Amino acid sequence: MPTPTALAHEKVVVVDFGGQYAQLIVRRVRELGVYSEMVPWNRLPEGFPDNATRAIILSGGPMSVTEPGAPDFDFARVPESIPILGICYGQQLMAHRLGGRVERASEREYGRRHLVESARGSLVEGLASDQVWMSHGDQVLAPPPGFEVTASTETCPVAAFEDRIHNRYGLQFHPEVSHTPDGRTVLKRFLFERVRLSGDWTSESFIEESLDRIRAEVGDRRVLCAVSGGVDSSVVAALVSRAVGERVTCVFVNHGLLRKGEAEDVVRVFSETFHPNLVVIDAAEQFFAALKGVTDPETKRKIIGAEFIRAFEAHADELKGCDFLAQGTLYPDVIESGSATAAKIKTHHNVGGLPDWMRLKVIEPLRWLFKDEVREVGRRLGLPDEMVDREPFPGPGLAVRILGEVTPERVHIVQEADAIFRGEIRARDLQSGIWQSYAALLDVRSVGVMGDERTYQNPIVLRAVQSEDAMTATAVPFEFSFLEHVASRIVNEVAGVNRVLYDLTSKPPATIEWE
């Protein structure tokens, strides 16, 4: 895996102490037009902070700064020319390390509080809303020498502090969450008034920079673009095509695990409206053969990943001078493969999940972007809405929505049920705000009755979620009558299904996909 060099933007580094909102801080900073990256506290890169780093934000975290072995940060490493903002654990660590006092609060403070600000000209002065979101066990009782307390709440004596001379700022509350209605102003003041950033992170600047990078890396060689019809790979294809023109070949491998009518759709949208140079490889037989008898989710993923690469490499061999495979890895994949606390949940990330025998060199032009940024770049590149607004669909396709063995017959059942569910959503215009919706087939059987006959078949689970970035999600609150109608259609129209369930679970603790 190549180690990509940094982007040439002014950058704010968010040091992750394992806080649940660390990634949200990165998103909020980017929404304000400033490029931001997340780095785990225990894996700071050599030479940190580098020349592009204009400010550092220390995230929240679940630990107590007073515990032995708690996540730490060497403040001496950062020159005063680089402002630091500590949020929650970050603020406590700043107080603890710079000579203030931090103690365990008598009870955990969690939820909405109201700020009383006491300092003019501070980050928190005169906010339109004084409501802030707190979530902490420890709290700062005395700021370090030279710091001024700029706000408190009824229960928290040091809700904000700052040392403007030395460019160090701290907030006990979370400005990044929507429960702090004016948190954006606090972040904006920090970025543009204290750090004096220009806000050079835009989709146009990203596109320009990406084109230069791709051209420099690929030189005069050819690139194979893995496309699935999804937004990520389509945007990659659009970028790479713009960068190297005719020297890109888009390859769509139909693994037989797509939704009903999807392969035809992808080929139509792709060739009609976007890229004529599309090769379609029908590999369903190979995939089904490789998946025969396999029931373990991770093994399924590995087999499918390897079959994909086999298909791409076989095609690349036919093209002379093709050394690169471009794919649509996104920033959350990169984060999830290396965050401070995240255990590996699923190997759905392209990062690190590729077989070691592969010959092609991988390029990942979107590895710095969140999904909404990818959509914006896609729009800027002129991709049709039909492509840009598509629901995410996992690379292993229906294989991770079929619990147990994946066979053509079981794929057919899921395809039919899924088409009914999603068709009804569209027919009633319910799709807006839905991140993903799908049908999954379980591998338990239950008894039912149809006509006078007893049935013993598998249930279908319907899942539809709302989400901002797939890291968290909640179930879509459909009307009961809608679900009942869909359930009735599925059991009547899809042979092999005698029961339909709706999944109400949020992520966490569940995940979006069933496997």
- List residues with catalytic annotation: 88, 174, 176
Complex with ligand XMP: residue 161 or 312, whichever CB lies closer: 312
Name which of residues 363 to 402 contact ligand XMP (CB under 6 A). Answer: 392, 394-396, 400
Query: What's the DSSP call for residue 170?
Result: E
Instruction: Report the nearest approach of ligand XMP to the CB of residue 214 (Å).
Output: 22
Complex with ligand XMP: residue 48 or 514, whichever CB lies closer: 514
Shortest-Cβ-distance residue relative to ligand XMP: 348
Complex with ligand XMP: residue 202 or 511, whichever CB lies closer: 511
Complex with ligand XMP: residue 277 or 511, whichever CB lies closer: 511
Binding mask 418-437 for ligand XMP (x = CB under 6 A): ------------------x-
Strands 131-142 and 497-502 come out as unpaired
Number of residues near ligand XMP (by CB under 6 A): 14
Alpha helix locations (H) across 32-135? Answer: 89-98
Instruction: Report the nearest approach of ligand XMP to the CB of residue 389 (Å).
Output: 14
Question: Under DSSP, is residue 100 helix (H, G, I), strand (E, B) or coil?
Answer: coil
Complex with ligand XMP: residue 138 or 373, whichever CB lies closer: 373
The DSSP secondary structure of 295-340, one letter per residue, reads --HHHHHHHHHHHHHHHHHHHHHHSTTEEEEE----HHHHHHTT-S
Angstrom distances, CA of residue 18 to CA of 61, 81, 102, 362, 511: 5, 26, 19, 29, 19
Name which of residues 449 to 478 contact ligand XMP (CB under 6 A). Answer: 470
CA dist 157 and 160 (Å) reads 9
Question: Under DSSP, is residue 357 helix (H, G, I), strand (E, B) or coil?
Answer: coil
The DSSP secondary structure of 125-154, one letter per residue, reads TT-S--EEEEEEEEEEEEPPTT-EEEEE-S
Alpha helix locations (H) across 1-128? Answer: 22-31, 89-98
Instruction: Report the nearest approach of ligand XMP to the CB of residue 282 (Å).
Output: 20
Strands 222-227 and 322-326 come out as parallel
CA dist 101 and 96 (Å) reads 6
Complex with ligand XMP: residue 244 or 257, whichever CB lies closer: 257
Question: Under DSSP, is residue 175 helix (H, G, I), strand (E, B) or coil?
Answer: coil
Instruction: Report the nearest approach of ligand XMP to the CB of residue 308 (Å).
Output: 10
Q: Which of 310, 315, 346, 412 binds ligand XMP (CB under 6 A)?
A: 346
Instruction: Report the nearest approach of ligand XMP to the CB of residue 371 (Å).
Output: 9
Instruction: Report the nearest approach of ligand XMP to the CB of residue 299 (Å).
Output: 12
Of the candidates 237, 224, 266, 278, the one whose C-alpha atom is nearest the C-alpha of residue 365 is 237
Complex with ligand XMP: residue 85 or 470, whichever CB lies closer: 470
Binding mask 292-321 for ligand XMP (x = CB under 6 A): ---------x--------------------
Neighbouring residues of 67: CB distance < 8 A, sequence distance ≥ 6: none
Instruction: Report the nearest approach of ligand XMP to the CB of residue 130 (Å).
Output: 36
Strands 446-450 and 453-466 come out as antiparallel
CA dist 39 and 13 (Å) reads 7
Per CB under 6 A, 348 contacts ligand XMP? yes
Name which of residues 473 to 512 contact ligand XMP (CB under 6 A). Answer: 507, 511-512
Q: Which residues bind ligand XMP (CB under 6 A)?
A: 301, 346, 348, 392, 394-396, 400, 436, 470, 507, 511-513
